[in-house]
């Protein structure tokens, strides 16, 4: 197949070389890549994966991908993940799947970060989908909520079936209500200064390439040097 005919998950395999350490993201797009990578591994490709969540680790094992803990690797060659919003500068909002902190740690340890999205995830400015996930320590959840409100970022702790969502780190997710974000990096720094915040879903200046899965095939966007 030509690159134009490949899906984003399959095209992402072109970023992986034999012997690489590969960060494995969380969510539907990342799952598609894990399955595609598993096919290559079963065909003889030698890689090791560093999963960003327990769910991804389980899927990778099912797909016969050997895994390593982050502490056991010196660095990661490439991480393949999804995103919830991508702006024209390839800044991201992530975390709708509640794995944002581990995803950011793995991305920061990687030489390259490649993001897989559908065209509906492309936005003119971050915040168009209305929320930023923020991971907070349970002990500080109430005070974090008041800090966010004072910053004009109302919202709520995420719940499912009447129970608070708990991350793999044992923390809660607060979904801050937002509109257009003029300076994503500055807002990320501001939120991270709130005591009790572990990390935010703003990934500013981290993605090297975004593969957009369109009907005609995958389109590659690259961050300007």
Considering the chain, what is the average pLDDT of its residues?
95
Residue 5 pLDDT > 70, yes or no? no
Per-residue model confidence as pLDDT tens digits over 123-171: 999 999 999 999 999 999 999 999 999 999 999 999 999 999 999 999 9
Strand order in the sheet with 172-177: 155-157, 172-177, 131-136, 197-200
The closest of 126, 189, 181 to 152, measured between CA atoms, is: 181
Closest to 208 (Cα-Cα) out of 105, 118, 78? 78
Q: How confident is the model at residue 3 (pLDDT cuts 50, 70, 90)?
A: very low
In the chain, what's the furthest Cα-to-Cα distance? 55
> Domains of the chain by range and CATH?
3-121+204-215 (3.40.50.1360), 131-200 (3.30.70.260)
Confidence of residue 57 (pLDDT cuts 50, 70, 90): very high
pLDDT in tens, 31-52: 999 999 999 999 999 999 999 9
pLDDT of residue 215: 86
How far apart CA 57 and CA 81 sit, in angstroms, is 14
The pLDDT score that the predictor gives to residue 60 is: 98
> With 0-12 CB in 10 A as exposed, 13-18 as middle and 19+ as buried, what is 40?
middle
Position 4 pLDDT exceeds 60: no
Q: Which of 53, 115, 52, 106 is nearest to 81 (CA)?
A: 115
In this prediction, residue 216 carries a pLDDT of 84
Active-site pick, 103, 160, 214, 215: 103
Q: Residue 2: what pLDDT?
A: 40
Q: Read off the tokens for 211.
A: 């593969």
Cα–Cα dist 21/50, whole Å: 7
Per-residue H/E/C for 179-223: CCCCCHHHHHHHHHCCCCEEEECEECCCCCEEEEEECCEEEEEEC
pTM of the model: 0.94
HSE-up of residue 74 (Cα within 13 Å, Cβ side) = 1
User: Catalytic residue at 103?
Assistant: yes
């Amino acid at each position: 197949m030509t690159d134009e005919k490949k899906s984003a998950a399959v095209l992402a395999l072109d970023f992986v070389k034999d012997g690489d350490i590969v960060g494995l993201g969380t969510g539907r797009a990342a799952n598609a890549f894990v399955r595609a990578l598993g096919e290559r591994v079963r065909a003889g490709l030698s890689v090791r994966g560093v999963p960003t969540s327990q769910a991804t680790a389980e899927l990778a094992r099912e797909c016969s991908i050997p895994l390593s803990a982050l502490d056991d690797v010196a660095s990661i060659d490439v991480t393949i993940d999804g995103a919830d919003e991508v702006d024209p500068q390839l800044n991201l909002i992530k975390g709708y799947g509640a794995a944002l902190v581990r995803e950011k740690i793995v991305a920061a340890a990687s030489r390259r970060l490649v993001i897989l999205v559908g065209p509906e995830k492309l936005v003119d400015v971050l915040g168009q989908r209305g929320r930023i996930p923020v991971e907070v320590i349970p002990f500080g959840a109430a005070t974090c909520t008041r800090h966010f409100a004072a910053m004009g970022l109302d919202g709520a702790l995420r719940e499912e079936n009447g129970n608070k969502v708990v991350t793999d780190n044992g923390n809660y997710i607060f979904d801050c209500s937002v509109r257009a974000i003029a300076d994503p990096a500055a807002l990320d720094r501001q939120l991270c200064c709130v005591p009790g915040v572990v990390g935010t879903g703003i990934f500013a200046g981290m993605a090297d390439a975004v593969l957009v899965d369109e009907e005609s095939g995958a389109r590659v966007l690259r961050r300007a040097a």
